[in-house]
Amino acid sequence: MAKGKCNPTQKVRTKGNVKPSSSDRASEFLQRNILSGSGSELLASLSSYDSSIPLGHTSTSQSAFSTLLPLDQDPVASTMDSDFLNALRRLEKRSAATKQKALDNLIDLLRAKSDDGHFIKSEDVISASVLPFWPRLFNSLACDEDRRIRELSQIAMHALAKRLGRKLSPSLKEIIITWTFATVDFYDNISRAALAGLSDTFPGDKMGELYRRFAKYLLDECDRKINYINTELPIHLKFKKNRKSDDQLPPDAHHHLSISAQFLSWVASFLPYLSKVPEDSDLLARFRDILQRIWSAITPALEKVKFTPLHSAYYNLISVMCLNMTEWITGSPELLNFVLAKCLQEKDACSESLAAFGICLSEFGEKVWTYVPWKELVGATLIPMIEQAQTKAQRTAVYANLLPLVSHLPLENISTEDADLMKRLLIASREGLLRSLNIPIDADLHDSEVISSLLDQGSSIDCLTGLFELSRYLLDRAALSSIEYLTEYLCDRVFLDFMSFVFTYSVSTSPGIKRWMYREQFSEGLFKQISCTLGHLIRDSRSQLQDVFFTLKESITELIKSTVLKSTEFPLQPISQFIWHLSEIGTQESWCQTWLNEMLIIIRPDSTDFPQRWLLTFILIGRIESPLNVENSLDLLISSIIPAFEDGDFIWTDSMSRGLAKCLLEPFSVKSWRSASLQTRLG
C-alpha cells in the first residue's frame, strides 16, 4: 500500500485504549512498566557541549526520580497538578518556540501569588508535580541549541530552588554538573542567570560547601572531559601550527575548542572552593592530579591554533590556581617552571595572560627572578608586547596592566642601566599611544600639522591612562634615585608634550579633529592624570619629589602663559579643564591656592579687549578661596564678553558663575546696554 493511503481494514483506535500507538510510545510504555519500582540510571548530559560524553552517572530510585512524564492513563498523572503537567509535557516538544513558552509558563506558575500575597502553588504540589521529573528536563533544556531556552531554563531552576529550598537537596547530584557548567556559558545572559540562581540558593560559605559536598561528581566529570580532549582531537588540530582566526576554523575544531575553553572556565569557577579541602584528603590529591593533566591535554591545541576563548580561559585558570594554590605550586619545581614559562614568556597580549603575568610576579616574588632576570623580562617580553599590540583589545589589555606589572619590579634604587631600560619602556609606551591615534611616532606634538593624520582607533583613552600611571610611578623612582635625565624625559616628553598637544588640537579646524569623538574624554583624562601627579608630588614629604613638583609647576605655568598671551584666540576650554581638575585635587590646600593666584595675575587682562582671558579670570576667581573682585563685572559681561562669542560656541560653566557671584554686582550702565549687540539684548 502506498505511503499515506488510508487502510480501510485498519481498526479505529478507541479512546481509553492503553496500548501504545507508536514505537516511541511503546518504548515509553515498556520502560514505565518494566522499570517501575526498580533502580535505574539517570544520565545528566551536556549535549550542547559534548553530546557524546555523559556528565554524571548516579543510581537513584525510579519512584524518586522518574525519567518519563506519565501518560494520561497512568495513575501517577491523576496525582499531579494539571498546570504543571501540561507545562512539563510541552518542554519535551521539539519546537523551540513551544519550549520557550512552556518555560515562561512554568516560571509564572512557580512565582504566581494570590491577592493575599501567598503562593498559588504550594511547595508540596511543586515537590510532587515538578521535582521528580525536573533533573532530566533541566539537563536537556540547559544544553539546548537555542540560547533563550538555555537562559529560561536557568531562570526556572532559580525559581524552583527558591520555592523548594532544602527539598531540592536529593536532586542536586543529578543537576550539579549542568547547573554549575551554565555559569561559564559563552552568552552572558545565560551565565548571569545561572550564577544568580546558584548564589541566591547557596549564599556565602554555602557555595563552597556545595562544591565540596559534590566534589566527587565534579572530579569524575573532569576525568571524562580530559579523556575526551585527549582522544577526540580533530584532524585539523593534530598537525603543525595553523594560526587561523576563530571564524576560519572547521566546525569540528571550533566545537572541540569551545568545549575545552568552557571546561577550563568551569574548573576555574570551583577551584577556589576545592583548594580548601583538607591537605590529607584523597579528593585534594585527585584534584591536583587533574590540574596537572589538564595542561598536557590543552597545551597542544593552544599551540596549534589561535582560538581566543581558549587562550583566555587557559590563562584565567593559571591565575586562579596561582592565587589559591601558591604553596603547592611552589613546592613542585616542575609545575612552578611550567607556570612561570607560560606567564612570563607570552607575548600575545590579552587581559587574562597579562593578569597571570602580574599574579606570578606578585605571588612568587624572588623565585621569578631566579627563573628569569627582571631586566630580561622587561626587554624581551614587556617592551615587545607593547610594540606588537595592534588592536584595540590588545592595547587596552597591555596599558591597563603596565603599572601593575612594573610595580613588582625591584626598582627601589635604580642605576643608570636600569634607568636606560625604563626609558626604553616609556618610549615604547609613548609611541604606542601615538600609534593608537595614527600619529607618527617621531611627530612634534607642538606642531598643528600632525593633527591632520589623527585617527583614533578607540583605545587612546586607555593608552593615555596606562602611560600616565606608569609615568607617575617612574617619576618617583627617578627622582628618589637622582636620575635627572629620566626625570626630564618624563616631564618634557610625557606631561608637557601631551598638554601642548591638547592645546594644539583644541583650536584646530582640521576635519579629523571635528570627527574625533573622544577628544573631550582625552583632554579630561590627561588633565586628571597630570593633576593627580602634581598633588602626589607636593604632598610627599621627601624633598626630591617636591623639587620635581616645582619644576613641573613652573613649566606648566610657562606653557599656559605662552598659550594665553600669544593671541586673543587661545584654547579656553582645555585650560579651564586643567584649572578645574587642579583645584579639585588641591581644594583649599595652600599650594593649590598659591598657584591659582599666580595664574590669575598672569591671565587677568588690563582692558576689555580680551574676552577669553576675562572668562578665565572669572573661572580662577571662582576656584580661589579668598575675596576677589572685578569692577563693573556686569557691564564687562554684557558689553565685551558675550558679544565676542555671538558667532561661536559659548559655554557658561559653574566656575564662571561662582567667580561672577564673588564680584560686587553693580547695576549695569545704560551705555553698556546700548553698546551690546541687538542679539545680546534680545537674548
**What is the domain-level CATH number for residue 99?**
1.25.10
Last residue in a domain, options 174, 201, 228: 201
Q: How confident is the model at residue 378 (pLDDT cuts 50, 70, 90)?
A: very high
Note whether residue 606 is domain-resident: yes
Local confidence band at 513 (pLDDT 50, 70, 90 cut-offs): confident
- Report the distance separating Cα 600 and Cα 377, nearest Å: 48
Residue 323: alpha-carbon gap to chain centroid: 19
Between the CA of residue 205 and those of 194, 201, 208, what are the distances in Å? 18, 11, 5
pLDDT in tens, 627-665: 777 777 777 777 777 777 766 666 777 878 888 887 766
Who's near 111: CB < 8 A, 6+ residues apart?
119, 159
Distance CA 606, CA 164 (A): 79
Which amino acid would we find at residue 297?
A
Contact between 409 and 374 under an 8 Å Cβ cutoff? The reply is yes
Residue 263 counted as domain residue: no
- The string of pLDDT tens digits covering residues 279-288 is 999 999 999 9
Would you give the DSSP letter of residue 278? Answer: -
Angle (nearest 5°) at CA 386 between 383 and 391: 160
Q: Mean of the per-residue pLDDT values for the chain?
A: 84
Chain segment 161-216, per-residue pLDDT in tens:
999 999 999 999 999 999 999 999 999 999 999 999 999 999 999 999 999 999 99
* CA–CA distance, 379 with 33 (Å, rounded to integer): 73
Considering the domain boundaries, does residue 643 fall inside one?
yes
Residue 357 · residue 343 · CB < 8 Å: yes
Residue 246: predicted pLDDT: 59
Q: Percentage of the chain surpassing pLDDT 70?
A: 85
Give a yes or no: residue 673 inside a domain.
yes
Question: Cα–Cα distance between 600 and 597 in angstroms, integer?
Answer: 5
pLDDT of residue 211: 96
Provide the 8-state DSSP code for 492.
Answer: I
Q: Which residue has the cell 631586566?
A: 375
SS3 14: coil
Alpha-carbon distance of 629 to 347, in angstroms, equals 59
User: Could you report the per-residue pLDDT of 341-373, keeping only the tens digit for each?
Assistant: 999 887 777 889 999 999 999 999 888 998 999
Which residue did the predictor score with more confidence, 430 or 42?
430
pLDDT value of residue 247? 61
Unique residue bearing C-alpha cell 606608569? 470
- Domain span including residue 126: 31-201
Q: In this predicted structure, what is the pLDDT of residue 659?
A: 81
pLDDT-based confidence at residue 514 (cuts at 50, 70, 90)? confident
Please check whether residue 183 is in contact with residue 51, taking contact to mean a CB–CB distance below 8 angstroms: no
In a domain, 353, yes or no: no
Last residue within a domain, chosen from 166, 201, 236: 201
Q: How many CB atoms lie within 10 A of CB 342?
A: 19
Are the C-beta atoms of residues 412 and 473 closer than 8 Å to each other? no
Is the pLDDT at 426 greater than 60? The verdict is: yes
Q: φ, ψ for residue 372 (rounded to 5)?
A: -150, 130
Cβ–Cβ under 8 Å, residues 182 and 190: yes
- Across the range 392-403, mean pLDDT stands at 94
C-alpha cell at 342: 607560560
CA dihedral 400→406→412→418, nearest 10 degrees, is -130
Residue 427 forms part of a structural domain: no
Indicate whether 294 pLDDT > 90.
yes
Q: What pTM, to 2 d.p., does this model score?
A: 0.78
How many other CB atoms are found less than 10 A from the CB of residue 184?
A: 21
**Helix residue ranges, H only, 517-589:** 519-539, 543-565, 572-585
Angle between helices 654-662 and 611-623 (to 10 degrees): 80
The band of 330, judged by pLDDT with boundaries at 50, 70 and 90, is very high
3-state class of 280 per DSSP?
Answer: coil
Q: How confident is the model at residue 111 (pLDDT cuts 50, 70, 90)?
A: very high
Model confidence at 444: pLDDT above 50: yes
In the predicted model, what is the mean pLDDT of residues 385-407?
A: 93
Model pLDDT for residues 211-265, shown as the tens digit of each residue: 999 999 999 999 999 999 988 878 777 765 655 565 678 888 888 999 999 999 9
Beta carbons of 433 and 398 less than 8 angstroms apart: no
CA–CA distance, 509 with 486 (Å, rounded to integer): 35
Q: How many residues does the chain have?
A: 683
What is the Cα gyration radius of the chain? 35
Residue 103 lies in a domain: yes
Residue 67 has pLDDT above 60, yes or no: no
- CB neighbour burial string for 370-399, b if at least 16 within 10 angstroms, e if fewer: eeeebeebbeebbbebbeebeebebbbbbb
Identify the residue with better confidence: 344 or 420.
Answer: 420
Number of separate domains in the chain: 2
Q: Does residue 290 fall inside a structural domain?
A: no
Domain boundary among 184, 201, 218: 201
* Range of weakest confidence among 36-45, 218-227, 283-292, 315-324: 36-45
User: In whole angstroms, what is the distance from residue 84 CA to residue 110 CA?
Assistant: 9
Minimum mean pLDDT among 143-147, 508-512, 570-574: which range? 508-512
Q: What is the pLDDT of residue 50?
A: 39
Residue 350's pLDDT is what?
A: 86
pLDDT given for residue 446 in this prediction: 84
Predicted confidence (pLDDT) per residue in 565-616, tens digit: 887 778 888 999 999 999 999 888 999 999 999 999 999 988 877 888 888 8
